[in-house]
Chain A
Amino acid sequence: MRDEGSSEVDAHGAEPGKRPLPAWSLPRDQADRIALPMEWPERVDREWAWGGSTGEGVRVCILDSGVERSHPLVGDLESAVTIAVDEDGETLVTDDEDGDLSGHGTACAGIVRAVAPGSSLTSVRVLGQGFKGTGNVLLAGLRHAVEEGFDLINMSLSTTKKPFAAILHELADSAYFRRTVLVASAHNMPVESYPWKFSSVISVGSHEEEDPLAFFYNPNPPVEFFARGVGVEVPWLGGRSSVVSGNSFATPHVTGICALILAKHPELTPFQLKNVLYLTATNVGGGQ
């Protein structure tokens, strides 16, 4: 069994030998110890948020069908692994030699690469181990990605299996407290699905505009942001490209924008990042 309590690890992490930073309450004389290092401008705009950034150094996980490594529109991957769950429920993580089994993961990776060319991409493949147990593999893959401490996890997928909802919720919260941001596709069919509905993730639906950096804050959640998701040119299998539509492809646009912001402001917590996204959304003041 894993230590579920580890989700409560203090993300700010005190230095060894020093008193831990206040986490559960704030004594009168401790306020200066949690002072925030960054200066916020009077008005947060895109120039402040990600001007000049390429996403350099930000680690992005593509939790999907695998990524075609040699594709010119994807470039180098930090690593590529595939997830399986054995009969005893143990997670097996192995190097992925198969690449992409559907084209979908390659497309998502290509979108992140196009928006944030400096980011570091890792493929965690959760599909292609047989249909049975897909849900368990998805959970194991997400758990692996959270434990690996990626800055961003792109989840252009969801599950409708209710028994998985509670565990997914726990994982999503655990990621949030560890400063791993989950960006998840909203479902555009009238069914209950997860994890996009959890408020600890950033959920994304589609708009029809062509600008890859146009994104809208949605004042009527649960879908929080709309990004480009129609007629998107993406890398596909065999070194080719394709034109695709769906919330799956809107999601990596937001992941890429998050990578740009985090590269410039690595100190942002997921809460603060979501605020910067809001303030720089096309339909909000910062969207210039």
Chain B
Amino acid sequence: MTDDSELRAAVASGVVGSSESFQELLGAIVHVARSIFGAKASSILLLDEEAGELVFEAVVGEGEESLLGTRFPADHGIAGWVLATRTPLVIEDVEQDPRHARDVAEGTGYVPKGIMAAPLLTEDAALGVLSVLDRPEQSLFSLQEMELLGLFANQAAIAVDLLQRARRAERILQDDGDLAVVAQLAASVDALEDDRREAGLRLLRALAGTLGSSERG
């Protein structure tokens, strides 16, 4: 049976376009998070459930160039703990320890002293982790900041959810599966201009009427 939301996502992706805009949104979120906390870096890690790995999906600051796309096991390190337990935490002043650093520093030479991390949660799943690395040393951490981190994580979770829907929709489009034709049609009509677009829409309305799915007019 076709999942209605997948169909809508496929059609929407035909019109809205790609997952790139959502990825930009993730980039914007880590930029703001880094800036508000005055941190050296911020990142969003997404869970690749199949591989059991966390992937750097957005990075700003230290490690920005080298970390994007890198992976590590999802059940290790601070991020792994935050993901598995759905619980945010803040670690200040961690003495440099390669085991602690593995989730961030491998291959970059950058070992953070402090990390704030919160899970990206939807109703019943953990999608990934938002991290903020190395806040200014003189600023004491407060519960207010923890709340702020949680708010950012919620925003990021929504963006990640959208990104993942868009990616699923894109896969459907590339699959040549049952839904691909619907999405391609939506994309084609959306690309038309003026009279041709109007004619295309008339044709689709007629087709919708013929198929008996006229509830949307």
Contacts and interface: CB of A to CB of B under 8 A. Distances in A.
Given A158-B85, A162-B124, A244-B91, A237 B143 contact: no
Given A131-B83, A158-B85, A102 B153 contact: no
B90 A245 contact: yes
Given A132-B49, A160-B123, A236-B94, A245 B89 contact: yes
B200 interface: no
Interface stretch (B24-32, B74-82, B182-190): B74-82
A189 B121 CA distance: 9
Size bracket of the A interface: 35 or more
B146 A188 contact: yes
B141 interface: yes
Contacts of A174: none
Given A104-B89, A230-B141, A245-B90, A127 B124 contact: no
Nearest to B126: A160
Interface in B128-148: 140-143, 146-147
Contacts of A156: 85, 87
Contacts of A131: 47, 49, 52, 73-75, 80, 83-84
Given A132-B52, A185-B87, A245-B89, A230 B143 contact: yes
Contact of B99 (A193, A237, A246): A237
Interface string B12-24: 0000000000000
B125 interface: yes
A246 B85 contact: no
Contacts of B40: none
Given A189-B153, A242-B93, A245-B92, A104 B100 contact: no
B88 interface: yes
Contacts of A134: 75, 84
A160 B100 contact: no
Given A103-B78, A246-B87, A161 B141 contact: no
A159 B123 CA distance: 11
B92 A242 contact: yes
A113 to B, nearest CB: 19
B106 to A, nearest CB: 16
B83 to A, nearest CB: 7
A231 interface: yes
Interface of A: 65, 101-104, 127-132, 134, 156-163, 185, 187-193, 206-208, 229-231, 236-238, 240-249
Interface of B: 47, 49, 52, 73-78, 80-81, 83-95, 97, 99-100, 118-119, 121, 123-126, 140-143, 146-147, 150, 153-154
